[in-house]
Amino acid sequence: MFFLNTQEVQSSSENVPGVQQSPEGQEEYNIDIPQEDIITKFWNCRILKHHKLVQEDLYVRNGIIIDSEQLFYSEKRTPHFDVDCKGMIVAPGLIDLQINGGFGYDFSYYKDTELAVKTVSKKLLAHGVTSFCPTVVTSPYYIYHDILPKIKRQKGGRHGAAVLGVHAEGPFINKEKKGAHPEKFITDHKGTMLSIKEAYGAGYENICILTLAPELRHSDQIIRKLKKDGIVVSLGHSMANLSQSESAVKHGASFITHLFNAMLSFHHRDPGLIGLLTSDQVDLDKLFYGIISDGIHTHPCALRIAYKAHPNGLVLITDALSALGLTDGRHKIGQMDIEIKGGIAFVAGTNTLCGSVTSLLECVKFFHKASGCSMEFALECASLHPAKVLHIEKNKGTLNVGADADFIILNDYFDLISTWIGGDMVYKSGN
């Protein structure tokens, strides 16, 4: 069966045997060819492709973007369905590499882990997110052992955004830059992979990003081994100087966790982690950094500095909490109580910021306005760039031929119209 919303779709097939209503309120088309052979054309749209918005049609078959010339001239076929995008923008689905939870659920809380992932995954579709990395903050070992095996990689679809793997933010960080992380559970890896695997247990294999402080002794050798295991090492919650930071990157670290937050402030004699953005000792083409552009965690001037210094490495993240999508009040993140006041999240009873309650699409919108960058670039900072961090840019974060047909349709004001995964509409604004 093949599902499309009939208000958006005009069939180009003259022989559709039957139509019946699906539980989702979409039309179900029974057609006399296998589902994997159905071809859908998206037209009257501006596609974000090769860093530009181009007036071009998009063709999808079996969840993959296909070559129209190959379709017409070699296969001599035409689409079965047409989707009129009404002049809107078609951009790659957004990818959030750091999100702690949302909508009342926290990934670091050991109860209802599967329900938390399921709920957040589904609700993120309404914010244009088609893939994400559930983030688990510093926790006691028994928490890791319980929840990490339950957060498995999964494909996206009507059930929700794809889970790309866990972002383990801690516990191997610096206590002096703990931020909202509970100090009593912060520990040292002692330079051994045994310590790493003892901390995470069987869930180690579900980790795709690991944040650590590079100044911890023997971190370079740990970084090399983590990279060999296919894990992206991110530097953060750190007191590292520039030399330590550069050494970590030379040994395989390729990401910086929420730039400017939970690290040494910039100093002209030793700029620390921040100095990596203009270092001549590392390959900047392979270095990326996350940044929270919610108007709270990072001042617009700081956003502009980062953007001007190393634009191609900029990755927009939310660092969103369980309170994403909720009103002001007290909530829980990991082992800590938090309080939302006026849309700002604090460690309860303090003035310490502990994450964002802003959606990724809103971060894109704020960054676009604050930096003065193009709309195309702002969208790529939340799609193509994070895909490059995980080395999945051939399949995600792009609308090139051969990529997964995960995309969003939006207007020129960043208002989301609909979200699509595998060429299937999984969310429509107003529904």
* 217 in a known ligand binding site: no
> Looking at residue 335, what is its pLDDT?
62
* 353 in a known ligand binding site: yes
Stretch 193-199: mean pLDDT: 97
pLDDT band at 8 (very low <50, low <70, confident <90, very high): very low
* 258 in a known ligand binding site: yes
Task: Quickly list DSSP for 44-78.
Answer: S-EEEETTEEEE--EEEETTEEE-HHIIIIIS---
Reply yes or no on whether the pLDDT at 371 is more than 70. yes
pLDDT tens digits, one per residue of 95-143: 999 999 988 888 998 788 999 999 999 999 999 999 999 999 999 999 9
Is 319 tagged catalytic? yes
202 three-class SS: helix
39 three-class SS: strand
> Looking at residue 6, what is its pLDDT?
35
> Looking at residue 16, what is its pLDDT?
29
- Using an 8 Å Cβ cutoff, are 247 and 276 in contact? no
> Looking at residue 20, what is its pLDDT?
28
- Using an 8 Å Cβ cutoff, are 237 and 260 in contact? no
CA distance 318 to 98: 6
> Looking at residue 36, what is its pLDDT?
75
Sign of the four-CA dihedral 314, 319, 323, 327 = negative
390 three-class SS: coil
* 381 in a known ligand binding site: no
Sign of the four-CA dihedral 414, 415, 417, 422 = positive
Reply yes or no on whether the pLDDT at 10 is more than 50. no
- Mean pLDDT lowest among 19-23, 200-204, 258-262, 311-315: 19-23
Residue span(s) of the chain under CATH 3.20.20.140 come to 94-389
pLDDT tens digits, one per residue of 57-71: 999 999 999 998 888
Beta bridge pairs of residue 96: 132
Residue span(s) of the chain under CATH 2.30.40.10 come to 2-87+399-428
> Looking at residue 12, what is its pLDDT?
38
pLDDT band at 7 (very low <50, low <70, confident <90, very high): very low
- Which residue type sits at 308? K
Could you tell me which of 65, 72, 82, 77 has the C-alpha nearest to residue 29? 82
Question: Considering the entire predicted model, what is its pTM?
Answer: 0.90
* 180 in a known ligand binding site: yes
CA distance 105 to 336: 13
Output the average pLDDT for the chain: 90
Phi, psi (degrees; rounded to nearest 5) at 83: -115, 115
Top-level CATH class of 94-389? Answer: alpha beta
Stretch 332-355: mean pLDDT: 75
> Looking at residue 74, what is its pLDDT?
86
* 45 in a known ligand binding site: no
DSSP 264: P
Stretch 172-199: mean pLDDT: 95
* 261 in a known ligand binding site: yes
Instruction: List the catalytic residue out of 96, 319, 404, 424.
Output: 319
pLDDT tens digits, one per residue of 215-233: 999 999 999 999 999 999 9
Could you tell me which of 180, 161, 169 has the C-alpha nearest to residue 136? 169
* 297 in a known ligand binding site: yes
pLDDT tens digits, one per residue of 240-292: 999 999 999 999 999 999 999 999 999 999 999 999 999 999 999 999 999 99
- CATH dotted code for 2-87+399-428: 2.30.40.10
> Looking at residue 13, what is its pLDDT?
36
- 182 burial type by CB count under 10 A (0-12 exposed, 13-18 middle, 19+ buried): middle
* 77 in a known ligand binding site: no
